[in-house]
Amino acid sequence: MLRRNFIALAAATAALTLAGAPAFAQDVIKLGASAPKSGPLAGGAAVTHWPNIQLWMKEVNAAGGLKVGDKQMKIELVEYDDKTNGEEAIKNIQRLATVDNVDFLVAPYSTGLNIAAAPMIAKYGYPHIATTAATDGVKDFASRWPNSFWMLGTSTQLAEGIVQTLTKMKDKGDIGNKVALVNVADAFGLELVGAAKPLLAAGGFDIVYETSYPLGTQDLAPVISGAKAAAPDAFVAFSYPGDTFALTEQAQVQGLNTPVFYTGVGTAFPAFAKRFGAAANGIMGIGGINSSDPGVKGYLELHRADLGSDPDFWASATTYAGLQILGQAIEKAGSLDKAAVVEAIKGGTFDTVIGKVSMPNNVNENVWTVGQWNNGVFEAVAGDGLSVGAEPVKKAGWE
Amino acid sequence: MTPFTNDELKWLGAGAILFAVAALLPLVDQGFYLSLSVNIMLYAALCTAWALFSGPTHYVSLATAAFYGLGTYTVGLGIDAMPYPLLLAIAALIGAALAGLVGAATLRISGVYFVIFTFGLAELVRQLVTWTQTKFATAIGLYVFTDLFEQHIYWMLVALTAAVFLTAFLINRSRLGFAMQIIGNDETVARHVGIDTARSKIVLFMISGAFIAVAGAIMAPRYSYIEPPSAFNPMISFLVVIMALLGGTKRLWGPLVGVIPFTILMDQVSARFPNHTMIVIGLAFLAIVYLIPNGVTGLLEQARARWKARAARMGQEKAA
Amino acid sequence: MNILITGILLSGTYALIALGLTLQYGVARIMNLGNGETLVAACFVAFWLYTGFAINPLVGLLLIAPGAFLINLVIYLVALQPLVKRAKNRGQLEVDSILATFGLLFLLQGLMIVAFGGEYRSYTFLAERFDILGNSYGLNRIVAFVAAAAIAGALWFFLYRTRQGTAMRAVAVDPNSANLVAIDVARTAAIAFALGGALTACGGALISTFYTFNASMGVIFTMKALIIVIMGGVGDIRGAILAALILGISETLVASLIDPGLTLAATYALFILVLLFRPQGIFGRAPT
C-alpha cells in the first residue's frame, strides 16, 4: 500500500511537471468539461460522467475526428474539477469560455450544478446538453435558456414509472396495495416523493409506512425494521448511492421479503450488482436500459471493452448519447458556430445509443424510468416512448 | 463618539479609493477575471467578517457555512414573496439570531469545544432546514431566478466588504473594541476590570454572523438552484479559516492579504492540475503552515521591521 | 429490545471511529482533521486486499494495523513534531495542527483518488443474518462490534495496566508534569499518535465490511469522531466508549420512535447538553 501510494505520488508529481501548456494545433475542436473530481458528488461523476467523455472522444478520434465542412477535426479535451461546488462550476465555465476559448462544452454533472452553470453557458451561447439532471423544472429551463437541452426526464416521469409498474403488478395479482415509501431528505428525494404520493393514492395504493432520513445516513436498520413492521407489499425508496446500498443490505439481513423492492440512485451502478450478486435479481431502481436494443448492446460492449466494466445503467448511456448528439450536430451544421449547432440540435433527429432522439422543445421525453436487475443486466421494465427490455416480475427471496 | 484623527481619516480615504477602484473592474472585463474577482471578493467579505470575531477572541469558528447557508436559504425561500433587498436584511437578522443563540450556549466554555461545536453546526442547521422543508414546505426545489448578472453580484460583494471593513473600523475605536482588546490579551484581567466578557463576545459573534449570512444571500442568485449540500458546503468554513489565518488576524486588512494570493493560487492549481488538485492543495497547505507561521501580515511586518532597522542603521552611518 | 441492540451495534461503529482520535487528540494534542481520511484509506486497503488477494478483512487487520502505525508514526515525526516544538502554547498548537492536518486531509484524499479512483466501493463480507432474541442483524456488524469491544478492552488494559500506558495517561493530563516525573513526552506523544492512527485504520477496515465508501467521504467520519471525543472527554477512552454508546442508542431511538430526519439534531442536542453541564467531558475532571 505504502509503495502504491509512493508510485501514485511520484506519478502525480511527474504529471504536475509535465502538465502546463496544452498543445495548440489547428484543425482541432477544443471541448471543455467541468464536473466533480472531488467533493460529495465525485463518486457519482466517476461512474457516470468522466468515463463516457473519455470513451466518446476515443471513439471519435479513432475514426479520424468529426467531419466539419470539408475538414476532419479531432477533439481535444480541457477538463476542470468543480469540487462539487456551484461557485467553482461557474468560474470554470468562464475560464473555458474566455481563457481557454473552447469550441464546445460538455454539460456539468448533477441537477444543481447544471442549473448553476446554465446562465453562464447561455451567456456564451454554447449548446448545453444536460444528461444528468432529472427534475420537474426542465420545461421552464428550456424556455429560459433556449441553448439548453434536457435529456434525463423529469421527477414526475420517474415517479410515474414506478407507480405504473406497481399498478401493473397489482392488476396482475402479483402484489397487494400496501406500499412503504422512504426518501432521502434532499431536493431530489422530496421531489420524487411529492410526485409519487398523489399518484399512489390515485392508483388505489395504501401507504402503510412513510419516512425520510438525512443525506449521508448509512445506518438504516431502524428504517427497514419500521418498514418491515408495517408488512408492505412493495418497498419504494428514493435514495442516493450510499444509502441505496445500506437499505438493500439491511433489507437482506432483516429479511424484508417484499415482492417489489425499489431503491433510487445507485441501484443502476455495476457495483450494486457486484455487491449483492444473485440477491440483486429482481431488485428495481431508477433507470434501466433495453439490452436487446442494438444501440444499447453496442454501447455496453464498447464500455466493457474500453473501460473493463459495465456502465451505470441509468444516466451513463444518456451521457454518451448527449455527446453523440453534440458531435452529429456539429457535423450537420458543418461549422463550429455555436448558434448553428444549437439550431441543428433543435431541428434534428439523432441516432444514439439510446435510440432516436429529437428535442424540438429542448426536452427529451423518451426515457427509461424503472429498471430491474436480471442476471447482471439492469433491464428497463417501464419507460416513456421507448420499448422496454422486459416485463416487471416479482422478486423472489434474498437467497 | 470621539472625532477621527488625521491618521484615521487617511486610512478611511485610502480605503474608499481602493474600493472605488475595485468597483470599476466589471467595466474592464466581464469574462473569467470577473468571475475570479467575485470569488476573491466573496472570500474577502467572509474572511474579514470571520476575523472580526475570531481575531480578537482567538475562538476559531467553523460555523461560517451555517450562516452562509442560512442566508442563501432565506433568499431561496422568500424570493417569490418578497423584494430582494428586504431578504438581505432578513438574512442579516437570521444570521445574528443564530449567532446569538450559539454564542449564548457555547461562548462561556473553552475555545476547543467551540471549534468542535461550530464544526458540526453547519451540518445541524442543514438537517433542521431540510427536515422543516420536508415536513412543512410546499415548494420543494428552490429556484432563485433574478435579473442580477455577475457584475451586480460583484458590486454587492464589494459594497458588503466595504461595510464589513467600516464596521470593523468603527468597532475598533469603540468601547466594544477596547473591551475586546483587553479580553484578547487576558480574559481574567478583563473580567476583573468589570467587562462582561461573554456579552461582548456574543455581540461580536452576532455582527460577524449577520455579515456572513448577507454574503450567502448575495450569492443565492448566482447559484439559481438552492440545495442544502451546496448552500451548507463545509468547505466554505474551512477555506475561510485557512485564508484568514494565512493573512493573519491581528490587523483589519490581514485576511485580505491572505485571500488574494490564496484564491489565485488555488485557481492556478485547479486550472493546471485538474486531476491532482487535492494533492497540490494539500502540499501547499502544509507548506504554508511551515513556512509562513505568522501569516502574510507577519511576513510583511518582519520585512518592515528589517527595513526600518536598516534605514536606521543607514541614518546612523550618515550622521557619523 | 430490537432498538436497543441496533443502537448498541451502531455504538460499536462509533467507538471504532472515535477511539483513535481520542488518543491522538488527548495525548499527542493533535486535533487530526485527517482522521476520516485515515479511516477511508483503511477501507480501501481492506477492499483491495479482499477483492484482489481474497484476504479476509479480519486477517487483513494484521497487515493494516502495523502498516497504519508506521505510516502515522512517520507522519507525526516528519510533519507534526516540528509544529509541536514550535508552538509556544496549546492554542498555537491547536491552530497549527488544524491547518496542518487539514492539508493532510487534502493530500490523503488526493492520493486515494489517484490510487483508487473516485467511485463508490463496497464488497460482501459476512452479510449474513444473525438472530438475537428473534430479530435479525447483520453478522458483519456484530463481528465489527465484537472486534470493537476487543480493541477497546485491549486499549484499556494497555492504558491502565502497563507502564507505557500509564505514561500516556500522564501526558494526556499534563505534559509538563509528566516531563518532571521522567516521562519522555515527545516519544510518548509520537507513539500515541501512531497508535491512534492504527486504531482508526482498524476501525476503517471493520467498517468497510458494511459501509459503502468513496474517497471523498472522510469528513463525515471525522465529524462524528470529534463529537464523540469531546463528549467523552478528550483522551479518555472510557468516556469515548460511553459517549459512543449514548449516541448510538439515542440516534436509533430517535430514528425508530420519532423521525430518522432528526438523528443529527438529537446528536447535537446531546452534545450541547454535555458541553453546557459537563464541558470537561463525561468523565473528565474540571481543569484546576
DSSP lists the bridge partners of residue A34 as A80
Encode pLDDT of B203-223 as tens digits: 999 999 999 999 999 988 888
> Hey, is B36 helix, strand or coil?
helix
User: Is residue C11 a part of any domain in this protein?
Assistant: no
pLDDT of C17 strictly over 60: yes
Triad B134, A316, A79: Cα angle to 5°: 95
Give the single-character DSSP code of A363. Answer: B
From B105, B111, B276, residue closest to C114, measured CB to CB? B276
Query: Average pLDDT of A340-353?
Result: 91
pLDDT tier at A16 (50, 70, 90 boundaries)? Answer: very low
Distance between CA atoms of residues B196 and B181, nearest Å: 13
Give the single-character DSSP code of A61. Answer: H
pLDDT tier at C141 (50, 70, 90 boundaries)? Answer: confident
Give the single-character DSSP code of A174. Answer: S
From B32, B145, B270, residue closest to A99, measured CB to CB? B32
Half-sphere exposure (Cβ direction) of B91: Cα atoms closer than 13 Å: 32
Give the single-character DSSP code of B212. Answer: H
Q: Is B32 on the interface with A (CB under 8 A)?
A: yes
> Hey, is A22 helix, strand or coil?
coil
Query: Among A219, A257, A269, which would you mutate to test the C interface (most chain C Cβ atoms within 10 Å of its Cβ)?
Result: A219
pLDDT tier at B319 (50, 70, 90 boundaries)? Answer: low
| Residue A352 near residue A295, CB atoms below 8 Å | yes
Distance between CA atoms of residues B225 and B117, nearest Å: 28
Range of the domain at A163: 155-291+369-383
Q: Is C15 on the interface with B (CB under 8 A)?
A: no
Tell how strand B142-143 and strand B225-226 pair up: antiparallel
CA diameter of chain B = 83
Distance between CA atoms of residues A90 and B154, nearest Å: 14
User: Is residue C81 a part of any domain in this protein?
Assistant: yes
Closest by alpha carbon to A268, among A292, A287, A242? A287
Range of the domain at C39: 27-221
Tell how strand A377-383 and strand A368-374 pair up: antiparallel
Query: Average pLDDT of C115-129?
Result: 75
User: Is residue C267 a part of any domain in this protein?
Assistant: no
pLDDT of A1 strictly over 50: no
Closest by alpha carbon to A398, among A259, A266, A288, A299? A259
Q: Chain B: nearest CA to C129, how far in angstroms? A: 32
Tell how strand A349-352 and strand A355-358 pair up: antiparallel
pLDDT value of residue C281:
67
pLDDT value of residue B90:
92
Pick the CATH number of B6-319 from 1.20.58, 1.10.1740, 1.10.3470, 1.10.150: 1.10.3470
Put simply, the answer to whether A222 touches C217 (Cβ < 8 Å) is: no
C-alpha cell belonging to residue C174: 499534563
Same domain, A225 and A287: yes
Closest by alpha carbon to A119, among C78, B223, B26, C262? B223
| CA trace torsion A129, A132, A133, A138 (10° rounding) | 40
Encode pLDDT of A275-325 as tens digits: 888 888 999 999 888 888 888 888 988 899 888 888 889 989 999 999 999
| Residue C159 near residue C225, CB atoms below 8 Å | no
C39 alpha-carbon distance from chain centroid: 8
pLDDT tier at A378 (50, 70, 90 boundaries)? Answer: very high
> Hey, is B153 helix, strand or coil?
helix
| CB contacts, 8 Å: B36 with chain A | 91, 94
| Residue A96 near residue A32, CB atoms below 8 Å | yes
pLDDT value of residue B110:
66
Q: What is the mean pLDDT of chain A?
A: 86
Q: DSSP secondary structure string, A322-360?
A: HHHHHHHHHHHHTS--HHHHHHHHHH-EEEETTEEEE-T
- For B63, residues 6+ apart whose C-beta sits below 8 A from its C-beta are B102, B118, B119, B121, B122, B209, B237
| CB contacts, 8 Å: C279 with chain B | 109-110, 113
Q: Chain B: nearest CA to C259, how far in angstroms? A: 10
pLDDT tier at A56 (50, 70, 90 boundaries)? Answer: very high
| ipTM of the shown complex | 0.77
User: Is residue C260 a part of any domain in this protein?
Assistant: no
| Residue C261 near residue B130, CB atoms below 8 Å | yes
From C45, C124, C214, residue closest to A1, measured CB to CB? C45
Neighbours of chain B (3+ CB pairs under 8 A): A, C
Name the helix (H) or strand (E) containing A80. Answer: strand A71-81
Same domain, A145 and A64: yes
Task: Residue window 284-313, chain A: list those with CB within 8 Å of chain C.
Answer: none
Query: Average pLDDT of C100-124?
Result: 83
Closest by alpha carbon to A268, among A305, A224, A314? A314
Distance between CA atoms of residues C90 and C25, nearest Å: 12
Same domain, A94 and A160: no
Distance between CA atoms of residues C98 and C117, nearest Å: 26
From B219, B224, B277, residue closest to A119, measured CB to CB? B224
C-alpha cell belonging to residue B238: 474551512
Same domain, A210 and A107: no
Put simply, the answer to whether A218 touches C212 (Cβ < 8 Å) is: yes
pLDDT value of residue C282:
67
* Burial class of residue C230, CB neighbours in 10 A (0-12, 13-18, 19+): buried
Distance between CA atoms of residues B156 and C51, nearest Å: 54
Q: How many domains does chain C have?
A: 1
Higher pLDDT, B2 or C265: C265
User: Is residue A398 a part of any domain in this protein?
Assistant: no
Name the helix (H) or strand (E) containing A380. Answer: strand A377-383
Name the helix (H) or strand (E) containing C217. Answer: none
- CB neighbours (10 Å) of residue B112? 18
Tell how strand A28-35 and strand A71-81 pair up: parallel
pLDDT tier at A17 (50, 70, 90 boundaries)? Answer: very low
Same domain, A222 and A147: no
Q: The domain that contains A242 carries what CATH number?
A: 3.40.50.2300
Encode pLDDT of A127-147 as tens digits: 999 999 888 888 888 888 999
pLDDT value of residue C121:
78
User: Is residue C247 a part of any domain in this protein?
Assistant: no
| End-to-end CA, chain A | 35
Same domain, A192 and A150: no
- For C14, residues 6+ apart whose C-beta sits below 8 A from its C-beta are C224, C228, C244, C247, C248
| CB contacts, 8 Å: B119 with chain C | 223, 226
Match 445509443 to its residue by C-alpha cell: A353
Triad B105, A219, C105: Cα angle to 5°: 65
| Residue A65 near residue A26, CB atoms below 8 Å | no
Encode pLDDT of C240-261 as tens digits: 888 888 888 888 888 888 877 7
The rounded percent of chain A whose pLDDT value lies above 70 is 93
User: Is residue A394 a part of any domain in this protein?
Assistant: no
| CB contacts, 8 Å: A253 with chain C | 127-129, 136-138
Query: Average pLDDT of B20-48?
Result: 85
| CB contacts, 8 Å: B283 with chain A | none
Put simply, the answer to whether A213 touches C256 (Cβ < 8 Å) is: no
Put simply, the answer to whether C223 touches B275 (Cβ < 8 Å) is: no
Residue type, C159: L
Same domain, A122 and A220: no
User: Is residue A397 a part of any domain in this protein?
Assistant: no
User: Is residue C4 a part of any domain in this protein?
Assistant: no
Q: Is B281 on the interface with A (CB under 8 A)?
A: no
Q: How many domains does chain A have?
A: 2
Same domain, A231 and A375: yes
CA diameter of chain C = 58
Same domain, A168 and A262: yes
pLDDT value of residue A2:
44
pLDDT value of residue C287:
47
Q: Chain A: nearest CA to C252, how far in angstroms? A: 7
C-alpha cell belonging to residue B281: 492543495
Q: Is C226 on the interface with B (CB under 8 A)?
A: yes
C-alpha cell belonging to residue C179: 516531563
Q: Which parts of chain C fold into alpha helices (H)?
A: 2-26, 35-53, 57-75, 81-86, 90-116, 139-161, 163-173, 175-180, 185-207, 218-232, 237-253, 263-277
Q: Chain B: nearest CA to A129, how far in angstroms? A: 18
Cα separations (Å) of B236 from A346, B50, B95? 39, 12, 16
Half-sphere exposure (Cβ direction) of B311: Cα atoms closer than 13 Å: 6
Query: Average pLDDT of C113-118?
Result: 80
Same domain, A261 and A286: yes
Q: Chain A: nearest CA to C153, how far in angstroms? A: 25
Closest by alpha carbon to C241, among C103, C130, C157, C148? C148
Half-sphere exposure (Cβ direction) of C196: Cα atoms closer than 13 Å: 34
Give the single-character DSSP code of C260. Answer: G
Distance between CA atoms of residues C6 and C243, nearest Å: 16
Match 436487475 to its residue by C-alpha cell: A373
| CB contacts, 8 Å: A98 with chain B | 31-32
Distance between CA atoms of residues A137 and C31, nearest Å: 44
Closest by alpha carbon to C207, among C11, C16, C4? C16
pLDDT value of residue C215:
82
From C95, C230, C259, residue closest to B60, measured CB to CB? C95
pLDDT of A202 strictly over 50: yes
User: Is residue A3 a part of any domain in this protein?
Assistant: no
Distance between CA atoms of residues B177 and B205, nearest Å: 13
Q: Which parts of A77-135 fold into alpha helices (H)?
A: 86-94, 111-124
Name the helix (H) or strand (E) containing B145. Answer: none
| Sign of the dihedral defined by the CA atoms of residues B228, B231, B235, B241, in that order | negative
User: Is residue C115 a part of any domain in this protein?
Assistant: yes
Encode pLDDT of B238-294 as tens digits: 888 888 888 887 777 888 888 888 888 888 888 888 778 788 878 877 887 888 777
Query: Average pLDDT of B77-93?
Result: 88
Give the single-character DSSP code of B275. Answer: T
Give the single-character DSSP code of A278. Answer: G
Distance between CA atoms of residues B91 and C280, nearest Å: 34
Encode pLDDT of A352-369 as tens digits: 888 888 888 899 988 899
From C124, C216, C255, residue closest to A40, measured CB to CB? C216
If phi > 0 it is left, if psi is from -120 to 50 it is alpha, else beta; for residue A20 that is left
pLDDT of B131 strictly over 80: no
- For A49, residues 6+ apart whose C-beta sits below 8 A from its C-beta are A35, A36, A109, A132, A319
pLDDT of B50 strictly over 80: yes
User: Is residue C15 a part of any domain in this protein?
Assistant: no
Distance between CA atoms of residues C278 and C283, nearest Å: 9
